[in-house]
Amino acid sequence: MEFFTISLLNGVSYGLLLFMLSAGLTLIFSMMGVLNFAHASFYMLGAYLAFQVSEWTNFWVAFLVAPVLVAILGGLFERVVLRKTHKFGHVAELLVTFGLSFVILELVQLIWGRTPVDYKVPAALEGSLFNLYSSSFPVYRAFMMLVAFGMLGSLFLILKKTRIGLVIQAALTHPETTEALGHNVPQVFALVFAGGCALAALAGVIGGNAFITEPGMAQAVGAIIFVVVVVGGMGSLAGALIASLVIGVGQTFAVGLDWSFIGGLQSLGIEVTPETFGYPVWKLKISQVAPILPYLLLVVMLVVRPKGIMGTRDE
Amino acid sequence: MSSTLKPLHFKPLNGVRIVVWSAFALVLLVMPLAAQSSFALTLLCLTGIAAMACMSYNMLLGQAGMLSFGHAVYTGLGSFVAIHAMNKIGGGWWLPMWLIPLVGGFAGLAFGALLGFVTTRKAGTPFSMITLGVGELVFAAALMFPEFFGGEAGINSNRTGGAGWFKDLGLTFGPQIQVYYLIAIYLFVCTGAMYAFTQTPLGRIANAVRDNAERAEFVGYDTRWVRYLIVMVSSFFAGVAGGLTAINVEAATADLLHGVRSGGYLLFTFLGGVGFFFGPIIGAVLLVFALVVLSEFTKAWQLYVGIIFLIMVVFAPGGFSALIMLNLRRVKYGEWRKMRWPYAGMFVTGLIALWGFAAVVEMAYQVQVAAGSGSALTVARIPLDSANAASWALAVAVLIVGGIAFEVSRRKFRRVWNAGEERIAEAIKKAEAAIV
C-alpha cells in the first residue's frame, strides 16, 4: 500500500512533467508540421537559465523569467532560421532543429561546463508534505504537480476561450482561410513556436532541480517525449496527456519492482536454471527493464494501433 | 525533339560510366601508396567504412526520403554479429575471414527485417521519431544483455584466425594494408551494387515514394512495402560496414549502437549531399576529418560542425556535392569568371569572422573546461590569454567587424550569383528552343 501510493504520486508527477514537455512539441507539430528535434534542448536551456537567474536573484524570479527568455530565443530561431527552411519541406525543417540541438548542447557546455550545476530546490519548498508509514512525499513534487495542472488549465483556457486561441485553432486546420480572413498566420506560427519553447522551459525550471541539471538531460528525455507524441497519436494533446501519465506511472512502478520471469515461472512450478534456453531474458528484473519500457510501449503500439491512442491520421 | 522516336535500349555500360568507375577503382587502388604513415592508412580504412555506412544511409534519406535517427543500430548490430562470428572462427569454425563483412551484412538485413517492420509502419516525420525510439531501445537493451554485447567493456576478437585458400597465400589480415584492400574491394563492389540498385524498378519507385507518396499509392504501389524493402536493403549494406568495422578494430562496444553515431551518419551524409550518388563519400571524408583531425585541434569541434550544418541546411540544402555541381555548371556556361571577386571577398571576410568566433569559443573553453592547464592559448598562431580582458576585446571586435564585412560581401555575392543563375536558365531555355 505504501509502495503503491508513493509510486503512484511520484509517477503522476513525472508523467505530468513529461506532458508539459510533449504538449509544446505536439502543439508545434500539429500546427506547423514541424517536429522540433531541439524541444528537449529548450527544456535543458530552461533549467540552466533558471539556475543562472536564481543564482543572481531567487527561484521565484527564475520561475517567471527563464520561460520568457527561452520563448524569446525560440521565437528568434523561428524567425531567423526555421522560416527560411520552410520552402525546402519538412525534412529540412527537421534537420535544422536537429542541428540546433547540437549547437545548444555545445553552447551549454561552453557556458556552464560539462559537470552538473548546483541547481537546488528553494528552501521554502524543501521537506516532506506528508509521511505515509516510513515513506515521505516531498513538498516539491506536489508543487510540480500544481504547476503542471496550472499550465494544463491555462493552456486549455487559452486555446478554447480566448480570441487568440480561436485563431490558433483555425490556423491549425485551415491556414489559408485564416490568412484570407486577415490574420497574420506566420506570426501565429512564431507565437506558437515561442509558446511551445516556453512550455518546455517551464518544465525545465521545475524539473531541473527535482532531477539533475546537466548537459545530458536533454538527451535523457528527448527520445521519451517523441515516444509520448507517437503513442498518444500525432498532434493530439489529450492523447499526449494519457501517454505521458502511462509512461510516467509505468516507469516509476517498474523501477521499484524486482520481479522477474524466473519468479513468475517458479510460482507456476517451472524451474529455470542458467542452462535453460533464453536465460538472460528470464533473469532480467523489471527494475532493470524500466529504461526501455517506453520504447517497448512504442513498438507494441505501432504493431497494434499505428495511429496512436487518440490519433486520427493513419499514415 | 526529332520527329521519329528511337526505341530505348538498356545500356548499363556507357563511356562516362566506364571512365568514372575506373577512376574510382584507380583511386582506391593507389591511395595507400600516397599514404606514407600508418596513421594515414588508418584514416583511409576509417574513411572507406564511413563511406559505405553513409551511402547505405543515403539509400534511406536521398533515395526514399526517409530521415532515420537510428542507422547506427544496423551498422552496430552488424559489428556485433561479425565479432561473434570472428570469435567462432578463432574457435575452429570453417569460414574464411574475408567473408566476415557479409556475415555482418546478413545480420544487418535480418535486423532490418525485424526492426524495419515496426519503423516503416509510418512515413515522414513519425518515421524519424520511431527510428529514434527504436535506436534508444536497442542501445539500452545492449547494456541489458552483457552475455552478447559484453557490457561496458565490449567484446574483443582477433582477425588473424581461421583458414582458407587465401590464408595459404599469405592473406592473414595481420598487416593493416591487407585490411585496407579488403575494405576497398568491398567498398567498390557494394558501391557498384548500390548504384545498380538505384536503377532498378524498386530503386525508381523509392524515388516516387519520396517525391509523392500519395501518387505512388494511386498508381498501385504499396508505399509501406516499398519503405520496408528499402530499409532492409540499406540495413544490409550498413551491416557490411559494421562487419568491416569489426575486422578493422577487432572489437565491438555498445557505443557503436549509440544515437550519437546515428546522428553523425545523418549529419555528414547531409553535408556531403543527398542529391548525388557520390555525395555521401564526400560526407564520409568530412566525417573522418572532423572526428580524427578536427577533434585534435579543438575541443569545441562539435560546435563548429553543428554550426556549419545549420548554415548548410539553410543556405545550401544540397550539401557540398551540390555546391560543386553548381559551380561546375557555372564553369560550363562561362559564368565562373564573374564569381571570382565575390568568392574572394566572401572567403577573406569569412576567415576574419571565423577567427574572431573561434577565438571567443576557444577562450571560453579554456576558462570552462581546461582551466587547469593555464590561460594562455593560440588561435591560428596568434597568442591569446583567456584571463586577459584585452584578448577578449580583440576577439569580440574581430568577430563583430568580420561578421559585418562578411554579411556585406555575402549580399553582394548573392546578387551576382542570382544574376548568373538567371542567365544560365535563359541559356538553357534557348538551347532547348534550338533543338525543337
Residues of chain A found within 8 Å of residue B303, distances taken between Cβ atoms: 102-103, 106-107, 110
The SS3 call for residue A33 is coil
* pLDDT above 80 for B136: yes
Dihedral angle of Cα B255, B256, B262, B264, to the nearest 10 degrees: 90
Euclidean distance between CA atoms A130 and A138, whole angstroms = 8
Dihedral angle of Cα B247, B249, B255, B256, to the nearest 10 degrees: -30
pLDDT score, position B8: 66
Residue of B nearest to A223 (CA): B133
The CA-CA-CA angle for residues A162, A166, A172, to 5°, reads 145
pLDDT one-digit tens code per residue, A61-111: 989 999 999 999 999 999 988 888 888 878 888 899 999 998 999 999 888
Minimal C-alpha gap between B199 and chain A (Å):
24
Q: Count the Cβ atoms, other than its own, within 10 Å of residue B276.
A: 19
Q: What backbone torsions phi and psi does residue A256 show, to the nearest 5 degrees?
A: -90, 0
Euclidean distance between CA atoms B152 and B255, whole angstroms = 9
Residue B128 at interface with chain A, using a CB cutoff of 8 Å: yes
Instruction: Supply B364's cell numbers.
Output: 571560453
Euclidean distance between CA atoms B42 and B38, whole angstroms = 6
Residues of chain A found within 8 Å of residue B61, distances taken between Cβ atoms: 91
Minimal C-alpha gap between B308 and chain A (Å):
9
Euclidean distance between CA atoms A279 and B10, whole angstroms = 55
Euclidean distance between CA atoms B231 and B221, whole angstroms = 16
List Cβ neighbours of A46 (8 Å cut-off, separation of 6 or more).
Answer: A66, A67, A70, A200, A201, A202, A203, A204, A205, A208
* pLDDT above 90 for B371: no
Q: Residue type at B82?
A: A
pLDDT one-digit tens code per residue, B262-319: 999 999 999 999 888 889 999 999 999 998 888 888 888 889 999 999 999 998 888 9
The SS3 call for residue B252 is strand
Highest mean pLDDT among A28-32, B56-60, B118-122, B167-171: B56-60
The SS3 call for residue B378 is strand
- What average pLDDT does this structure show over A228-247? 88
Instruction: Supply A222's cell numbers.
Output: 528527448
Residues of chain A found within 8 Å of residue B310, distances taken between Cβ atoms: 81, 96, 99-100, 103
Tell me the domains of chain B and their CATH numbers: 17-299 (1.10.3470), 333-435 (no CATH)
Residue B45 at interface with chain A, using a CB cutoff of 8 Å: no
ipTM strictly over 0.90?
A: no
Residue B407 Cα distances to A99, B349, B399, angstroms: 22, 9, 12
Instruction: Supply B386's cell numbers.
Output: 583567456
Residues 363-392 (B) with a CB less than 8 A from some CB of A: 364-365, 368-369
Euclidean distance between CA atoms A200 and A202, whole angstroms = 5
Average pLDDT, chain B: 88
Euclidean distance between CA atoms A210 and A217, whole angstroms = 12
Euclidean distance between CA atoms A88 and B23, whole angstroms = 34
Instruction: Supply A31's cell numbers.
Output: 500546427
Minimal C-alpha gap between A216 and chain B (Å):
12
B163-179 in b/e form (b: 16+ CB < 10 A) is eeeebeeebebeeeebb
Q: Count the Cβ atoms, other than its own, within 10 Å of residue B295.
A: 14
Q: Residue type at A295?
A: Y
Residues of chain A found within 8 Å of residue B302, distances taken between Cβ atoms: 102, 105-106
Domain ranges of chain A: 2-222+235-255
Q: Count the Cβ atoms, other than its own, within 10 Å of residue B284.
A: 25
Pairing verdict, β B155-156 and B251-252: antiparallel
pLDDT one-digit tens code per residue, A269-299: 777 677 667 777 777 777 778 888 888 888 8
Find, among B58, B37, B35, B40, the residue nearest to B284 by Cα: B58
Euclidean distance between CA atoms A217 and A105, whole angstroms = 10
Euclidean distance between CA atoms A170 and B182, whole angstroms = 60
* pLDDT above 50 for B1: no
Pairing verdict, β A135-138 and A128-132: antiparallel
A128 strand-pairing partners: A138
Q: How far is CA B78 from the centre of its chain?
A: 18
Q: Residue type at A152?
A: L
pLDDT score, position B2: 47
pTM for the full predicted model: 0.89
The CA-CA-CA angle for residues B147, B152, B157, to 5°, reads 65
pLDDT score, position A204: 92
Contact status, residue A94 vs residue A34, Cβ threshold 8 Å: yes
* pLDDT above 60 for A314: no
Residue B309 at interface with chain A, using a CB cutoff of 8 Å: yes
